[in-house]
Amino acid sequence: MTTIASLVFCTACGTLLPESIGNTRNLLKCDCCTLENRDVGINKTTAVTKPTDFPSVLRQKLHSSVKAVEKHKIDTMAKTDEKCPKCGAEEVRFTTLQLRSADEGTTVFFYCDCGYTWNANN
């Protein structure tokens, strides 16, 4: 019997066998050739990936843009009448950046003099 992901195929004819019951003692009967195959559907493989496993020019541009915001001098940012959730200051500095797709709003990064930062999606 051949297993691909959690799909189980008959060793004789290659037909997809019925869904696994989850017990290795069970036999799965092929509807096409009537051969009984052991149920190995419970032997599952789990793969874990990280964003760095699949390099992307777009991901690199996004990452460099976010770093640019972090390094940007707070003095040059515009001020707005937004209340700081941490200290309650009535005026904070902000900057915007297009992080999502072009048909969606920008992300606004807020910086308070108390050191608290947060963002909001427009």
Is 32 part of any known ligand binding site? Answer: no
Count of CB atoms situated within 10 Å of the CB of 102: 5
- Residue 112 marked as a ligand binder: yes
3-state secondary structure of 12: coil
Handedness of CA 100, 102, 103, 109 (dihedral sign): positive
Structure tokens at 20: 């696994």
Residues annotated as binding site for Zn(2+)?
A: 10, 13, 30, 33, 84, 87, 112, 114
Residues annotated as binding site?
A: 10, 13, 30, 33, 84, 87, 112, 114
